[in-house]
Amino acid sequence: MSALNIKKGSTSHSAYDLRDPYAEVIESHTLAVIVANESGVLARVIGLFSGRGYNIDSLTVAEVDHAGHRSRITIVTRGTPQVIEQIKAQLGRLVPVHEVHDLTVEGPAVQRELALIKVAGKGESRIEALRLAEIFRANVVDSTLESFVFEMTGTPDKIDAFADLMRPLGLREVARTGVAALARGL
């Protein structure tokens, strides 16, 4: 019953296929979400991501304004441009959310993460680990005769790179804080 003679060039077969066929690029965005520091707010934010099937690559949260009871949640997420816009709109309409900033589009931003990295080893590999730590400006915050704990801050990529180098040298454990990020300048 083609009452209107309309050409169909669709590749989608599902009413639920909401992906934009023209913008299948997946982008990573860092969002700063300023929320009222009330119980349940973090659960609401996380529930939004899990309930609607959005990705969380990293999430950090801490109170940043004690007097104003404000917390800052920094979320690194991935998706098509349309999904990223949805995520921001969905976050923005949560009642306890005060502000949503997309640091990836609002201008240059600095991103830092802190990691503690435990490496065990003796002999050559132990010396090599220490040498690399110096290059990466990682500090030794604990050492025994068989192990180091390095502390380093940097972008997530830098931490990934360092951890990868440590793997053959005796990497045991990594603890990471997740990303904190701020826009550059005023």
Cα separation, 25 vs 107, in Å, equals 20
Nearest approach, Cβ of residue 15 and other proteins (Å): 5
Q: Which of 179, 183, 180, 161 is nearest to 57 (CA)?
A: 179
Nearer to other proteins among residue 16 and residue 24 (C-beta): 16
The yes or no reply on residue 137 touching other proteins (CB under 8 A) is no
Are 21 and 11 in contact, with CB atoms under 8 Å apart? Answer: yes
Q: Which of 60, 86, 147, 177 binds other proteins (CB under 8 A)?
A: 86
Between 156-170 and 123-135, two packed helices, what is the crossing angle to 10 degrees? Answer: 170
Stretch that binds other proteins, among 88-96, 107-115, 122-130, 166-174 (CB under 8 A): 88-96
Please state, in angstroms and as integers, the Cα–Cα distance from residue 121 to each residue in 12, 71, 125, 129, 163, following that order: 54, 40, 6, 9, 15
Are 41 and 96 in contact, with CB atoms under 8 Å apart? Answer: yes
DSSP 138: P
Q: Rounded to 5 degrees, what are φ and ψ at 46?
A: -65, -40
The yes or no reply on residue 8 touching other proteins (CB under 8 A) is yes
Cα separation, 127 vs 8, in Å, equals 65
The yes or no reply on residue 85 touching other proteins (CB under 8 A) is yes
The yes or no reply on residue 178 touching other proteins (CB under 8 A) is no
Lay out the site mask for other proteins across 36-75 (x = CB under 8 A, - = otherwise).
x--xx--xx--x---x------------------------
Q: Which of 26, 63, 65, 92 binds other proteins (CB under 8 A)?
A: 92
Nearest approach, Cβ of residue 186 and other proteins (Å): 24
Nearer to other proteins among residue 13 and residue 184 (C-beta): 13
Stretch that binds other proteins, among 17-25, 122-130, 149-157, 166-174 (CB under 8 A): 17-25
Please state, in angstroms and as integers, the Cα–Cα distance from residue 162 to each residue in 11, 56, 79, 182, following that order: 43, 22, 27, 23
Q: Which residues bind other proteins (CB under 8 A)?
A: 1-4, 6, 8, 10-18, 20-21, 36, 39-40, 43-44, 47, 51, 82, 85-86, 89-90, 92-93, 95-96, 98
